Structure 1
Amino acid sequence: MTGWLSLPMQQLVIAPVLLPLVTAALLLLLGEQRRVAAVVLNLASTVAGLLLAAALLLWVDRQDAPAAFGIYLPGNWPVPMGIVLVADRLSALMMVLAGSAGLAALLFSLARWHRAGVHFHPLFQLQLMGLYGAFLTADLFNLFVFFEVLLAASYGLLMHGGGGHRVRAGLHYIAINLVASLLFLIGVALIYGVTGTLNMADIAQKLSQVPDSDRGLLGAGAAILSIAFLAKAAVWPLNFWLPPAYAAAGAPVSALFAILTKVGVYAVLRLWTLCFPASAGPWALFGGEVLVWGGLATLAFGALGMMASQRLDRLAGFSVIASSGTLLATIGFDSPALGAGALFYLASSTLAGCALFLLVELIERARQVELAPLADDDDHLPDFIDAEPRDDANLDDEEQVLIGRAIPAALAFLGLAFILCTLVVAGLPPLSGFIAKLAMLSALLAAPPGPAGAVAGQALFALLIVSGLLATTALLRVGVRHFWAPQNRPPPRLRVTECVPIALLLSGCLLLVVRGETALTYTRATADALHQPQLYIDAVFRARPVAERTAP
């Protein structure tokens, strides 16, 4: 085993995968009759997984930037023969985001959603296992395995609660992901046939040794693999499945799904920076223009989709598409400064998207509650309405006194949470979305144009601003309809378990503002490490199996 970590830290690298796996097995043994025990076990495991991810993030952050790697060999086989798990700045960041989204979704589901169907808790843990494993694995085959684990769990979670609308949306979701998985296998097979390895670091090292006669096959394998990842990342035009699927799923499931498209983005970012850096000779920045223009098209499609959406749940789905397009476009520019801002944007948009999906159910539920007509007798009027208003009093559209009217706490919470989500998603000051977009815009002004040219840089600059304007308009329109327009409805009733996760997610966005410089320092170090792939390659190949102890 490598000496990069002390013995306790070595175990942390594998723990985020083993913990949900063991928990899912125990939850299956508990069955559906012991719901209280299942809730406690699921909650404890999810919190422990988030703490493990946070511990790994803190560890890599304390190392010399950007060379911070924790490596674990599960089968104790030498590299590149065996499985390798690698915890670096990027994987640790992604695991913390997955754990945060998972904890928020689970807390929200405890109000009622976990009882809407069977096997919710085991599927939830398997989903987390697939997410953590995909972020940690360092070889293509196990990346495929963890992709299938999280997708299989997501199929069950999407159908959780039943209903024809979920079945229809789920069929499209399953079909597109099965096709993407098939392309994944074909791409992996072609790459393995040419390079003779599945280890990502080994593939990156052997690219320059591929003979000219095999370069066509390698390019085809890389392109097919990229299509699989881009389909999972919801790139245009392969993202038609996302808005209906995310809108049909239950609120906690949709919130957890906010991180799923980021898995595809992560895979593209990891493999593209590792295998096709600017120093890769004939393979330098392979497919960079496709990433840039595909990302720009996806961003424009997501922004227009938000403007065209009349339903808040579909609007939230299009916001996920817009964030995915932003990230894919920034990857193709191959700029560490732009990448640092994009990683900050990744954290901010994921937390806000997750909170927005949870808010959708609460806001829509509030709209469905009708208020009984007010009695004609003044004695039955609510206390906040003056039966005989003064002539100089401020009146609303129904000629009821505005002065002294208290806003119900539940409505105030929903309104404030929606405003904060709007500010983050649209990138308006003073929240984390603005910091992220400002960092990206500053990098675009200072950085070279990249492989796609100056026109692409100008297009991204303009789209970042215009998409924010469109998102603001779309969300304000929804806000006016739900919170401002006169409606004859009582204040909504909210459960604490539904409010706490939303508050925690938005607190994370606020924390990114308060500790903005610290967070940007971390994302800069992460981007620097990604653009020095030799550090990753050297760290993986320095890992050694643990020597077996012989009896004296």
Structure 2
Amino acid sequence: MINWTDHLIILLILLPLLVGAALVLIDERHQSIKAAANLGSIVIIGIVALLLMHAADAQATAGAAAPIAVYRLGNWPAPFGIVLVVDRLSALMVALTSVLAFASATFALARWHRGGAHFHSLFQFLLMGLNGAFLTGDLFNLFVFFELLLAASYGLVLHGSGQARVRAGLHYIAINLAASLLFLIGVSLIYAVTGTLNMADLALRIPQVPAQDRALLEAGAAILGVAFMVKAGMWPLCFWLPTTYSAAAAPVAAIFAIMSKVGVYILLRLSLLFFGSASGASALFGNDWLIAAGIATIIFGLVGALASQEMSRLAGYAVLVSSGTVVAVAAAADRAAVTAPALFYLVSSTLAIAAFFMLIELLERGRDPGADMLAVTREAYGEDAPEDPDAEEIGLVIPASMAILGWCFVGCAAVIAGLPPVSGFIAKFAILTALLGDDTAGGMPALHWALLALLMLSGLTMLIALTRAGIRTLWTPTERADPRVRLVEIVPIALLLLGCALLTLQPRAAMSYMQGAAEQLHAPAAYTHSVLAPAETRVKTGGGS
């Protein structure tokens, strides 16, 4: 029997679907109604996500994992029916998405939601795709939700038009269509070998795959992994990301901060579920490649950040550093003690980067497009800088507005660079401690030592890049008026920074939750048992056929 509270899971998908469809029917002249419906839906989704987080954590006991909730659509048993699965990690990702969505949608009320048609509908469809990707329990529906969120993101990237957005949007669409093709090829190969696409069922069947079919299985998994690496922004498949994110409207770029984490989430989920230490001959398949890709992504992001002459591109490279760090650290050691601080870092960096994207628009309001450029690069960038057609003066001048924005910049920079004592520093310190504690009698591999050195270097490098950008924007004596800022624009930024502050003030509680989420990831038996419980006997006797 399904408890009535379990229906909250499907609400995370049905609500944005229904609200988004209803908003399409409302005339664009009624923007206030659309905005109210959009924000109301996001608030309800956030409340439901918090309830699910509490439920996933409520019954946890010392040494035991929290229960995993499974919603079977039509009450069809897995692996035949569609299932939605909620554990600590998926509930955390949905809650993080709702926080970013609320901040971005609120920021957009200043003017951005009027820059094009159906902004609020696309926003709701994006949320539906994101929530579905975090909750789904089978690869086919993962593809469906991926395509849904990508379709909505195509419209949001182009929102507000402009030559730069159209050019970046076309590149974004092309690269994601190619990634979707790889997704289908990888899923097809895996299905050809195992005969199932249910994630829990795959976890049981992969160790039983015959030796002659294992190469085909691993080829399918590798192709599928490449598709997810494109979405996560892993090098060398990440060249599109800084350009696209910097060209998008500020609230769109802020919600896109979670988009790359969808790929990171799926890489973590599937690598530990399919190729964990108990996966037989395929155990830890691709782990070294993930570490190497993560390290290369961090290096590329750091070099790009140092070379960036525009803060929006700097924020895009910060996204790459964040994604590369989480993937490399989580793959570096098959222990929950290492994965937990990586999840803590994921949440902290995502909140700070989303706030940074919105803050950049306020800091650069009214400035010359080439004001950030160094003299030696002005010729290369100055004439290509697009003019924003929406750059009319809005809002009221807040007393000491530059001082407020300056302190917000300091907060974002401190978290992204990992300065003590903020949450970014706590996350990196916990990661370094866990990696050093993972040293064995034989010594750590060279890739692990390289990752340790790079994690320490990344903080200094990002600090240099952010300090340089802050000096140019806040301290360089240029002719500019105080930016006209609305309360509805500064509040979302403060909300996201408040989230980082809470992680700083309550790191023990946050890390405890992350530890529980990491333990569930590294103990896939609980996941498979929860999903396949009604048909457990059948799976054990015929799962490998």
**TM-score (normalizing by structure 1):** 0.89
My pick for the range that moved more, 54-63 or 514-523, is 54-63
In the aligned structure 1, how far is the partner of 2:248 from the partner of 2:157?
A: 5
- In the other structure, the counterpart of 2:541 is none
My pick for the range that moved more, 515-524 or 485-494, is 485-494
Could you give the per-residue CA deviations for residues 27-52 of structure 1, whole angstroms, max 9, x where no partner exists? 01213122111111111001111111
- 2:346 aligned with 1:346: yes
3-state SS of the aligned residue for 2:365? Answer: helix
Could you give the per-residue CA deviations for residues 74-96 of structure 1, whole angstroms, max 9, x where no partner exists? 12211110000000001011001
3-state SS of the aligned residue for 1:197? Answer: coil
- In the other structure, the counterpart of 1:374 is none
Q: Which amino acid aligns with 2:302?
A: A
- In the other structure, the counterpart of 1:447 is 438
* Structure 1 unaligned regions, length at least 5: 371-406, 546-552
Displacement over 4 Å in runs of 4+: 449-453
Q: Which amino acid aligns with 1:247?
A: S
In the aligned structure 2, how far is the partner of 1:408 from the partner of 1:102?
A: 28
Q: Which amino acid aligns with 1:63?
A: Q
3-state SS of the aligned residue for 2:70? Answer: strand
Return the match for 2:39 from 40, 43, 50: 43
3-state SS of the aligned residue for 1:465? Answer: helix
3-state SS of the aligned residue for 1:75? Answer: helix
Q: Are the counterparts in 1 of residues 69 and 85 from structure 2 also a CA contact under 8 Å?
A: yes
- In the other structure, the counterpart of 1:15 is 11
Q: Are the counterparts in 1 of residues 16 and 128 from structure 2 also a CA contact under 8 Å?
A: yes
Q: Are the counterparts in 1 of residues 21 and 121 from structure 2 also a CA contact under 8 Å?
A: yes
- 2:100 aligned with 1:104: no
Q: Are the counterparts in 2 of residues 288 and 452 from structure 1 also a CA contact under 8 Å?
A: no
Q: Which amino acid aligns with 2:266?
A: A
In the aligned structure 2, how far is the partner of 1:78 from the partner of 1:504?
A: 41
My pick for the range that moved more, 440-449 or 130-139, is 440-449
Return the match for 1:29 from 25, 29, 44: 25
Change (3 A) 1:337 1:366: farther
Q: Are the counterparts in 2 of residues 43 and 103 from structure 1 also a CA contact under 8 Å?
A: yes
Q: Are the counterparts in 1 of residues 245 and 256 from structure 2 also a CA contact under 8 Å?
A: yes
- In the other structure, the counterpart of 2:477 is 486
- In the other structure, the counterpart of 2:134 is 135
My pick for the range that moved more, 174-183 or 204-213, is 204-213
Q: By how many angstroms is 1:13 displaced? A: 1.1
- 2:357 aligned with 1:357: yes
My pick for the range that moved more, 203-212 or 345-354, is 203-212
Report matched runs for 1:423-434 at 5 Å: 423-434=414-425
In the aligned structure 1, how far is the partner of 2:190 from the partner of 2:249?
A: 38
- In the other structure, the counterpart of 1:410 is 401
Q: Which amino acid aligns with 1:19?
A: L
In the aligned structure 2, how far is the partner of 1:167 from the partner of 1:340?
A: 39
- In the other structure, the counterpart of 2:517 is 526
3-state SS of the aligned residue for 1:365? Answer: coil
Report matched runs for 1:323-342 at 5 Å: 323-333=322-332, 334-342=334-342
The RMSD of aligned alpha carbons is 1.8
Q: By how many angstroms is 1:172 displaced? A: 0.9
* Structure 2 unaligned regions, length at least 5: 371-397, 537-545
In the aligned structure 2, how far is the partner of 1:177 from the partner of 1:298?
A: 18
3-state SS of the aligned residue for 1:286? Answer: coil
**Number of matched pairs:** 505
In the aligned structure 2, how far is the partner of 1:489 from the partner of 1:53?
A: 43
Q: Are the counterparts in 2 of residues 449 and 456 from structure 1 also a CA contact under 8 Å?
A: no
Q: Which amino acid aligns with 2:287?
A: G
Q: By how many angstroms is 1:484 displaced? A: 1.2
Q: Are the counterparts in 1 of residues 57 and 66 from structure 2 also a CA contact under 8 Å?
A: no
Q: By how many angstroms is 1:366 displaced? A: 4.3
In the aligned structure 1, how far is the partner of 2:7 from the partner of 2:491?
A: 32
In the aligned structure 2, how far is the partner of 1:511 from the partner of 1:158?
A: 31
Could you give the per-residue CA deviations for residues 142-171 of structure 1, whole angstroms, max 9, x where no partner exists? 000000000000000000000111111111
In the aligned structure 1, how far is the partner of 2:443 from the partner of 2:154?
A: 37
Change (3 A) 1:366 1:411: farther
In the aligned structure 2, how far is the partner of 1:158 from the partner of 1:183?
A: 22
- In the other structure, the counterpart of 1:206 is 205
In the aligned structure 2, how far is the partner of 1:366 from the partner of 1:89?
A: 44
- In the other structure, the counterpart of 1:474 is 465
Q: Which amino acid aligns with 2:507?
A: G
Q: Which amino acid aligns with 2:230?
A: A
In the aligned structure 1, how far is the partner of 2:433 from the partner of 2:243?
A: 35
Report matched runs for 1:112-131 at 5 Å: 112-131=111-130
3-state SS of the aligned residue for 1:72? Answer: strand
In the aligned structure 1, how far is the partner of 2:364 from the partner of 2:32?
A: 28
3-state SS of the aligned residue for 2:483? Answer: coil
- 2:75 aligned with 1:79: no
- In the other structure, the counterpart of 1:540 is 531
In the aligned structure 2, how far is the partner of 1:152 from the partner of 1:431?
A: 36
Q: Are the counterparts in 1 of residues 156 and 252 from structure 2 also a CA contact under 8 Å?
A: yes
- 2:215 aligned with 1:219: no
Q: Are the counterparts in 1 of residues 58 and 66 from structure 2 also a CA contact under 8 Å?
A: no
Q: By how many angstroms is 1:454 displaced? A: 2.2
- In the other structure, the counterpart of 1:464 is 455
In the aligned structure 2, how far is the partner of 1:193 from the partner of 1:454?
A: 35
Return the match for 1:515 from 495, 499, 506: 506
Q: Are the counterparts in 2 of residues 291 and 328 from structure 1 also a CA contact under 8 Å?
A: yes
Q: Which amino acid aligns with 1:353?
A: I
Could you give the per-residue CA deviations for residues 198-242 of structure 1, whole angstroms, max 9, x where no partner exists? 100000100122112211110111010000001110100100000
Q: By how many angstroms is 1:486 displaced? A: 1.7
- In the other structure, the counterpart of 2:379 is none
Change (3 A) 1:300 1:543: farther
3-state SS of the aligned residue for 2:85? Answer: strand
In the aligned structure 2, how far is the partner of 1:18 from the partner of 1:452?
A: 51
- In the other structure, the counterpart of 1:375 is none
Could you give the per-residue CA deviations for residues 369-414 of structure 1, whole angstroms, max 9, x where no partner exists? 99xxxxxxxxxxxxxxxxxxxxxxxxxxxxxxxxxxxx94211111
Q: By how many angstroms is 1:488 displaced? A: 2.6
- In the other structure, the counterpart of 2:320 is 321
Q: Which amino acid aligns with 2:339?
A: G
In the aligned structure 2, how far is the partner of 1:144 from the partner of 1:351?
A: 26
- In the other structure, the counterpart of 2:388 is none
In the aligned structure 1, how far is the partner of 2:272 from the partner of 2:329?
A: 12
Could you give the per-residue CA deviations for residues 255-302 of structure 1, whole angstroms, max 9, x where no partner exists? 010000000000100001101111211011000000001101101111
- In the other structure, the counterpart of 2:247 is 248
Report matched runs for 1:135-174 at 5 Å: 135-174=134-173
In the aligned structure 2, how far is the partner of 1:321 from the partner of 1:250?
A: 19
Report matched runs for 1:86-101 at 5 Å: 86-101=85-100
